Amino acid sequence: MSITTFTTDSSSTEAPPTSGLRVDIADIAVVVVYFIFVMIVGIWASVQANRSTVGGYFLAGRSMTWWPIGASLMSSNVGSGLFIGLAGTGAAGGVAVGGFEWNAAWVLVALGWIFIPVYISANVVTMPEYLAKRFGGRRIRIYMSVLSLILYIFTKISTDIFSGALFIQMSFGWDLYLSTGILLLVTAAYTVAGGLAAVIYTDALQTVIMVGGALTLMFIAFSKVGWYQGLVDGYMSAVPSVTVANTSCHLPRSDAFRMFRDPVSGDLPWPGLIFGLTVLATWVWCTDQVIVQRSLSARSVSHAKGGSVLGGYLKLLPMFFIVMPGMISRTLFPDEVGCVDPVVCQSVCGASVGCSNIAYPKLVVELMPVGVRGLMLAVMLAALMSSLTSIFNSSATLFTLDLYHRARPRASEMELMVVGRVFILVLVCVSLLWIPVIQTANSGQLFDYIQSVTSFLAPPITAVFLMAIFWPRANEQGAFWGLMSGLLVGLIRMVLEFSYEVPACGQVDLRPAILADVHYLYFALILLAITSMVIVVVSLVTAPIPEEHLHRLTWWSRFSQEPRVDLTGPYLTPDPPTSDLSADSERAAGPCWRRAVLRFCGLTGSSSGPAVVDSELNSLEEDPFWRQVCDANTLLLLAVSVFLWGFFA
């Protein structure tokens, strides 16, 4: 492989532009003020909520209104991994990756109008709990809990930690793992102490900071390149000065400003972007504990729907304040962001496979004025902290209620609260070990890594939930063997993906055809079809579940008033009690340090708020006026979404 060089030799050896001298004392002051403000909000929310019961800690007492739910849906999904990965993929390939955000508007409508009513009528706290009620037995619930935790580690926690640390490294020049440690110390405090209420209210605050700061950078960046037409002209000519001979990989894609790309040769083929992506989005927005737990904390169905609509509107924005700024970054800094020579890339960002991941932080440290740059640092930290705290809380919910409580059905509520908090620390340690793999995965494009791993493991989950909700004939045997077959096929593709390196610029692609020719979005569709076929075949050749076990567990029976006979397999144990912890707390009295720790974690029974307020979420009844308001806003959201798809198609 020969290299054509248009610069002097020193260009490949000069220090990367990550020295920590870019941040002024005013920027640091802004970040410090931000941290103090967030901690105050977190402490206030912790004091207001009862953290000493399962309902209070994991579901915020089911007292949330639509606006913090919608904001939390946005910030839980738009973490620092999205700022780094989405902007990086936009810098490398153009606007099509914004379809991942716009697709969420449709699926969030499905969450509020289809999935949440079923979960409410089933009266569940976790998604594995729903499957246990729907199908009976123990093995599906355990499998779902374990797989969800694995997906959180591989596609959420570790990528967010890595991307947030990368941003701090570029801004302050700190070591990657030192940056990671500092981030985790800050996020752990109010997550462990406050439960879901603290997480949702701080998410709402951080959404305001995130959107405001990102829009500020967007306007500054667009003004630098001559607005949209300037971006089109500049991006298409953003070629690095060091290229690889006899290749075109250094050139921007000719279809960079089109959403719908060739179904065979496109980097994001349009059938995959519409249909394959919907499979992944259904898992993320409708069956994933992190997202659904927020909607289940609503005080009524209308508030849950309103949160979904607000979240849908907010998800239309990242195309403009993340994807396009990433493209502007390549336009302004083609040698760094658009580098293709492995030697140059190694010197620029420490990764030989490419430097597109530095697109957004590069824009921040180069364009933002003093003080405002500190605001953008706060935005990135807000994105990181909001997504991490959401995942930590939901992971603790899954582990505590679906795994630990299954093993120890007589565990006291105080024991469950302690276990949930300790598990957060264990999860962080495991995630840290995966970071080196992410650094070299998928040509340095973090967002592609997240979506490809999701496409190998999530479609079977989507298939099982769709069958559970819409096909009453699906039974436990069909669901289990569908999950197992889907997992096997997905793992084969995942192992192959990590066994073969993506060819560098100018190299021959020697990967098997299933990797080189079958896009991961197409693979998601194939995996969904395989899983669904297995579920249908196995369910039809085995005994159906009697109707008396399915009342209020499917879409068709959600309004049923018939008494339901719960499926009680030999291993299914009752859900945890919701009694107060005062008795446990009295027994736990001891040294001052121990009482202080218990009070910090809300385990002293001293919280004044109720475990669960007088919530309407156990009922599907809605006020007619607010139902019409939600429906009208949904139609408007879908109309805006269709217009945007058509405009950029």
**Is residue 597 assigned to a domain?**
no
Reported as a pLDDT band with limits 50, 70 and 90, residue 19 is very low
Token pair 């308001």: residue = 629
Asked if residue 582 is part of any domain, the answer here is no
| Tokens read off for 547 | 């109707």
Write down the pLDDT at residue 488: 93
* Domain span holding position 427: 17-242+252-575+617-641
Residue 5 in any domain: the answer is no
Bridge partners of 3? 244
pLDDT band at residue 614, thresholds of 50, 70 and 90? Answer: very low
Q: How many domains does the chain have?
A: 1
Spell out a b/e string for 328-365, using b for 16 or more CB atoms within 10 Å of the CB, else e: bbbbbbbbbbbbbbbebbbbbbebbbbbbbbbbbbbbb
Out of 48-62, 199-213, 316-330, 354-368, least confident range: 48-62
Degrees to nearest 5, angle at CA 462 with 572 and 471: 70
pLDDT digits (tens, 9 = 90+) for 547-567: 988 998 999 988 888 888 887
- The region of weakest confidence among 61-65, 275-279, 520-524 is 61-65
- How much is the pLDDT for 245? 64
Number of H helices, E strands in the chain: 31, 2
CATH number for the domain including 196?
Answer: 1.20.1730.10
In this predicted model, what pLDDT tens digit does every residue of 379-431 receive, in sequence order? Answer: 777 666 666 777 777 777 778 877 887 778 777 767 777 777 778 777 777 76
pLDDT-derived band at 356 (thresholds 50, 70, 90) equals: confident
Rounded average pLDDT over 284-290: 85
Within-domain flag for 384: yes
Residue 581 domain flag = no
Express each pLDDT in 472-514 by its tens digit: 999 999 999 999 999 999 888 888 877 777 666 666 767 777 7
Q: pLDDT-based confidence at 449, cuts 50/70/90?
A: low
Residue 8 domain-assigned?
no
pTM: 0.78
Q: Is the pLDDT of residue 120 over 60?
A: yes
Q: How far, in Å, CA of 316 to CA of 101, rounded?
A: 6
166 is a domain residue? yes
Q: What are phi and psi of 78, to 5 degrees?
A: -90, 80
Residue with tokens 């707390």: 585
Q: Render pLDDT for 48-57 as a digit per residue (tens, 0 to 9).
A: 554 444 444 5
- Rounded to an integer, what distance in angstroms lies between the CA atom of residue 124 and that of residue 401? 11
What's residue 353's pLDDT?
67
d(CA 523, CA 509): 19
The residue ranking higher by pLDDT, 129 or 41, is: 129
Cα separation, 564 vs 18, whole angstroms = 61
Q: Is residue 168 part of a domain?
A: yes
Q: Which residue has the tokens 């279809």?
A: 255
